[in-house]
Amino acid sequence: MAGIKNFEKAEVVILKEQIDYQKGQVVSKTMAQNEHLSVTLFAFDKDEEISTHESGGDAFVTCLDGVGKITIDGEEYILYEGESIVMPAKHPHAVYGQEQFKMLLVVVF
C-alpha cells in the first residue's frame, strides 16, 4: 500500500498553506489514494464548485480556510474554518465555494 505523497516526511506543515487558490478554478492535491482510502486537499475559488455526485465511500470534509457550502441530499450546510461534516456514501452531494474555501477531504471506502 502506498503512503503519503506530495509532502515532505517528518516536517511540520500547515495544511491550508499546502495548496493555493487559483482564479476561477477548483485545485486539488492528492495526499494518498488506494482502494480503501483517498486523502485530498482542495482549494475552491469563490463561486466554484464540484457539482452533485455520489461516492462509494463516506467522505469526511474539514474546512481549512474560508467558507464552503456542502449540499447533502438537497440540504445545505455552511462550513467555516475548523468545522467538519461527513457526506455519507451513495448519497448525492455537492461542494461550493461560498467564499474562497480550502478543505481536506478523506474518503473511506
Q: Which residue has the cell 515532505?
A: 8
Instruction: Work out the pLDDT band at 1, boundaries 50, 70, 90.
Output: low
CA 73 distance to own-chain centroid: 18
pLDDT in tens, 50-67: 999 999 999 999 999 999
Nine cell digits for residue 42: 482542495
**The three cell numbers locating residue 63:** 474546512
CB atoms within 10 A of CB 87: 23
- Per the document, the length of the chain is 109
* pTM for this model (two decimals): 0.95
What is the C-alpha to C-alpha distance for residues 82 and 62, in angstroms, rounded to an integer?
7
| Residues forming beta bridges with residue 50, ordered by sequence position | 95
> What are the φ/ψ torsions at residue 17 (nearest 5 degrees)?
-90, 0
Q: Residues 4-43: pLDDT tens digits?
A: 999 989 999 999 999 999 999 999 999 999 999 999 999 9
